[in-house]
Amino acid sequence: MEAKKDRIIYNHFTGIKGLSIIELLIGIFLSSVIMIIMVDVLISQDKVFYTQKDIASGQHNMRIAMKKMTKDLMMAGEGRPTWTTINGQSGLDFSVRYADGSLDIVGCLDAPRGRLSGSVSPGSTTITLNTGEGGNFNTTTKSDIRIGDGENAKVIYVSGDTLTIDTEPLLSGDQGLAYSYALNTEVCQVRWVTYSQDATDIDKPVLKMDDHQGAGAQTIVEYITGMSVSISGNMADFTITGRTQNPSKTSGHYIITEASNRIFMRNLK
């Protein structure tokens, strides 16, 4: 019985035939087609991935630009003094203006740079800030301040955290405060900033901002191709145009993004 079983198994395997050359070639051909399709799909997915990554990066740049310009426009005119020489720069008789592709904004654009360490009385020509905050001001490029919601002053001397001020710099002598202020009253710095789009480097157009502190215009966002602003009364409409860093691997063209916003500038004088 065992010999018969072994013979049956032997006969079964000897009956198996190998692939013919035609079947082998057909198999190789079909495998090649499948591999080509898979590679093509992977290449397409790679192009889509990098294009989407570029688009996301461009949209992120646009959001940064929109957020920064929106914030400054909303604060335009806040705390701007009646005099026109601010932080050593003359002719600043405006809160916001747009001319020759540049947007200029004047006001308390940032969070307060100091707080009173104690109350002050009307007539005082000095104010003392919390420890370490006196260094946020000087008598040249950071000299114009706004105290609370009350009045403006110029810093004419800094001693540690104590500022000697003049509330009427157009008059002779140091004029003191017109009002009293309580402990922790905020003190902000009045600033002038200028936004401009720079396409000098055609491969990397940028949005720049100059805070007029001596460093010149600095890049804040890359791949911004255009900026336009329209001002009517207290309303400002602005549009920023940007593009992807690289051309699309599918179309060979840059992908353009545009964002617009309308701002009510409540602090304009």
The mean pLDDT value for 159-184 works out to 95
Distance CA 191, CA 146 (A): 11
- Structure tokens given for 20: 């013919």
Contact 137, 163 (CB under 8 A): yes
For residue 62, the surrounding DSSP H or E stretch is helix 21-74
Residue 27 has pLDDT above 80, yes or no: no
- For the ranges 40-49, 83-92, 126-135, the lowest mean pLDDT is seen at 40-49
- For residue 94, the model assigns a pLDDT of 95
Distance CA 82, CA 149 (A): 14
Contact 98, 229 (CB under 8 A): yes
Between residues 53 and 188, the one the model is more confident about: 188
pLDDT tens digit string along 195-244?
Answer: 999 999 999 999 999 999 989 999 999 999 999 999 999 999 999 999 98
Highest mean pLDDT among 12-26, 85-99, 247-261: 85-99
One of 2.40.33, 1.10.3470, 3.40.50, 2.60.120 is the CATH number of 109-189, namely: 2.40.33
Distance CA 175, CA 152 (A): 11
Residue 17 has pLDDT above 80, yes or no: no
Distance CA 213, CA 126 (A): 25
Instruction: List where CATH 2.40.33 sits in the chain.
Output: 109-189
Residues 6+ apart with CB under 8 A from 16: none
- Structure tokens given for 236: 């400002």
Q: What pLDDT band is residue 1 in, cutting at 50, 70 and 90?
A: very low
- Structure tokens given for 56: 């996301």
